[in-house]
Amino acid sequence: MKPQNSLILVEYKQETEKKTEAGIYVPPTAENNAIGFLRMGTVIAVNRKEETEEHDIKPGDKVYFNKNAITTIPTEKDNVLVRKEDIYLVL
């Protein structure tokens, strides 16, 4: 897969509810109130043009992105497309 324009292919696993040791189920939104709209994923592929820019994002980078700006890919379970403008932090 080769993303076009400023799109970046990111591996992002949707959060599922977790069970505490006491048997209480915690929904994913309750855990992420501190970061709200940000989610973390791993870059899988970027457009070659984006790789050559001064502030490049390359495959393997961990990124924080806006969860409301993702585009899901029907054939890819854990992969989403994110615009470069919606990435807030590269680790």
Which pLDDT band, with edges at 50, 70 and 90, does 60 fall under? very high
Give the whole-angstrom CA distance, residue 80 versus residue 74.
9
- pTM, to two decimals: 0.68
Looking at per-residue pLDDT, the higher value among 33 and 8 belongs to: 8
In this model, does residue 91 exceed pLDDT 80?
Answer: yes
Task: Give the pLDDT score at 61.
Answer: 93
Give the whole-angstrom CA distance, residue 37 versus residue 56.
23
Task: Give the pLDDT score at 42.
Answer: 92
Token output for 18: 């977790």
Token output for 73: 């890919």
Handedness of CA 32, 15, 62, 54 (dihedral sign): negative
